[in-house]
Structure 1
């Protein structure tokens, strides 16, 4: 089984999710929209840890994962999920790789196919005004929220919200096209950190089955 971007679990993190973790460039009293815009324009690299909880549409099942995230603008990122199900997602600027070590499988697709109006697009530094409509929401418990609504259909998202606490992004909430609710919380954030270039390169291990995903043909 391959996991294209964004997949069920990755919709929340992939990307952007994590990425938005550090809006340190935001002004102390700015709303969520200003914090996100400042983050995209001024934070060029970074790393953080995250905890992601995915809840089924009926609210009866939950799955929690932990991992780390690293990024370097433009268009380079790495998500590493730990137990209970290992997974690595790497964007090298041209392609996006999704590797499942337990299955010994990897999928790869062009960057422009993988991004678009997704959380990863925020992380990769896309044009927010082109892909999303941004709306500030009321602060709750000291967290300033911004809602990002994809402008095009087929983005696979019902709702995407980002929460900033002070000058850092503290949470990402996503409801995907299937009604699953994902919450990502960030910690150990390092803004504008120097991340080694090799972290954004992926070479499939020997014996791994590689599937190249092609863009659908236009009629």
Structure 2
């Protein structure tokens, strides 16, 4: 190819094809579910009222092992622990020294834990790639079972790394989780997702 203009055009077309082949949020999510069997991250969560005038911020850590084992440990402003052991979901409120539990199938449903730690997303969600924004690739996850608890969720990736999750619940409240210090496929002890009742805690089974 001796013509410099044709050579430049060929290079531009090649770059354009590479750009078009860039993975979107849906592909990133599918690879995340397929390739990341265990994971952990820190998170900051902001919950906004429907009119956006009131906001509450909390933070903690998140760990998971597929399928359906996870730990959400809130440390600020109040200590709470949510553990999914594959059979049940346990919620511990440290201030009340109270534990509640529900069967996994009843508690998980179309929740963020199902989206992040589940094994079959197509069963629980309708998934659709969204336009990239602010350097993140987004995918929308709409629950197939409309029980009213969650209207929709969006999950974002920066490249192949989990970056953020947003959801709107049945009351119009918006929750935004931003993840940091993300680690893919770490090794966990065998009992990491086993819930141990705190001494003297009251148990409420639902």
TM-score (norm 2): 0.86
Q: Is the 8 A contact 2:28 2:159 kept in 1?
A: no
Q: Report the Cα distance in structure 2 between the residues aligned to 1:126 and 1:44, rounded to whole angstroms.
A: 9
CA offset at residue 29 of structure 1?
A: 2.2
Give SS of 2:95's match.
coil
The aligned residue for residue 54 of structure 2 is 61
CA offset at residue 126 of structure 1?
A: 3.4
Q: Is the 8 A contact 1:54 1:62 kept in 2?
A: yes
1:203 to 2:196 alignment: yes
Asked which structure has the greater CA Rg, the reply is 2
Cα root mean square deviation, aligned:
1.3
Q: Deviations over 1:66-94 (max 9, x none)?
A: 10011111221111001211100011111
The aligned residue for residue 80 of structure 2 is 87
Q: Is the 8 A contact 2:148 2:169 kept in 1?
A: no
1:136 to 2:129 alignment: yes
Q: How many residues align?
A: 186
Q: Report the Cα distance in structure 2 between the residues aligned to 1:38 and 1:182, rounded to whole angstroms.
A: 24
CA offset at residue 171 of structure 1?
A: 0.6
Q: Report the Cα distance in structure 2 between the residues aligned to 1:39 and 1:115, rounded to whole angstroms.
A: 19
Q: Report the Cα distance in structure 2 between the residues aligned to 1:93 and 1:152, rounded to whole angstroms.
A: 20
Q: Is the 8 A contact 1:122 1:128 kept in 2?
A: yes
1:112 to 2:105 alignment: yes
CA offset at residue 50 of structure 1?
A: 0.4
Q: Report the Cα distance in structure 2 between the residues aligned to 1:155 and 1:30, rounded to whole angstroms.
A: 32
2:65 counterpart (72, 75, 89): 72
Give SS of 1:199's match.
coil
Q: Deviations over 1:7-64 (max 9, x none)?
A: xxxxxxxxxxxxxxxxxxxxx9211111111111111001110000111111111111
Q: Pairwise mapping of residues 21-36 of structure 1 onto structure 2 (< 5 A)?
A: 29-36=22-29
Greater relative CO (CA pairs within 8 A, separation 6+)? 1
Which ranges in structure 1 are unaligned for 5 or more consecutive residues?
1-27, 214-219
Give SS of 2:116's match.
helix
Q: Pairwise mapping of residues 162-181 of structure 1 onto structure 2 (< 5 A)?
A: 162-181=155-174
1:38 to 2:26 alignment: no
Structure 1 residues 115 and 155, CA gap change in structure 2 (3 angstroms): farther
Q: Report the Cα distance in structure 1 between the residues aligned to 2:118 and 2:60, rounded to whole angstroms.
A: 22
